[in-house]
């Protein structure tokens, strides 16, 4: 089950189907890892909220694009929460010359992979995680987000 809240209306102003795009990316990521039926909560919010979460939980007083909060193991099969900041995501998409829709889906996939236990602390972990992201995104019709240039 995917629970989704759009807290910042900028998401739907910029992307009329922000909810559908985020859900599709989460579902595709869960399916790619055989985790269909697992619960995930997605929050599409703003930079102020993300900055507060980043400060509270990571001791970093700045907004970031996506945060993941894994849940402890539970009988409800709830994996955790993923929150995305509109301003940071929109600016990154513009800076990288990528459609915001593609960037949203990439970051949702990235956040859900964190909930599934993947990380990118070491180069080997980053390579594995990026490879999984590429597979999920290709299934959604999105080009490799790590290639330079417009997508």
Tell whether the model's pLDDT for residue 5 goes beyond 90: yes
Task: Provide the mean pLDDT of the chain.
Answer: 95
- Tell me if 99 sits within 8 A of 151, measured CB to CB: yes
Domains of the chain with CATH codes: 2-139 (3.40.390.30)
16-71 tens-digit pLDDT: 999 999 999 999 999 999 999 999 999 999 999 999 999 999 999 999 999 999 99
Half-sphere exposure of 38 (CA within 13 A, CB side): 23
- pLDDT > 70: percent of the chain: 97
What pLDDT shows up at residue 69?
98
Which residues are 23's β-sheet partners?
A: none
What pLDDT shows up at residue 101?
98
Length of the chain measured in residues: 151
- Tell me if 54 sits within 8 A of 140, measured CB to CB: no
- Tell me if 151 sits within 8 A of 142, measured CB to CB: yes
Tell whether the model's pLDDT for residue 147 goes beyond 90: no
Q: 65-72: which pairs have CB atoms within 8 A and are 24 or more residues apart?
A: 65/89, 65/92, 65/107, 66/107, 66/108, 66/110, 66/111, 67/111, 68/111, 68/112, 68/114, 68/115, 70/114, 70/115, 70/117, 71/115
Average pLDDT of span 67-96: 97
- H or E, element range at 57: helix 47-58
């Amino acid at each position: 089950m995917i629970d989704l809240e759009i807290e910042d209306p900028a998401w739907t102003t910029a992307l009329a189907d922000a909810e559908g795009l985020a859900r599709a990316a989460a579902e595709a990521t869960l399916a790619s890892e055989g985790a269909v039926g697992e619960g995930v909560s997605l929050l599409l919010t703003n930079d102020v909220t993300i900055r507060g979460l980043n400060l509270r939980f990571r001791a970093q007083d700045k907004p970031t694009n996506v945060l993941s909060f894994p849940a402890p193991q539970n009988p409800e099969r709830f994996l955790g929460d993923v929150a995305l900041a509109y301003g940071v995501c929109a600016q990154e998409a513009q800076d990288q010359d990528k459609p915001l829709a593609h960037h949203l889906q990439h970051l949702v996939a990235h956040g859900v992979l964190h909930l599934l236990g993947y990380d990118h602390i070491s180069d080997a972990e980053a390579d594995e995680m990026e490879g999984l992201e590429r597979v999920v995104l290709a299934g959604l019709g999105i080009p490799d987000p790590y290639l330079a240039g417009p997508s």
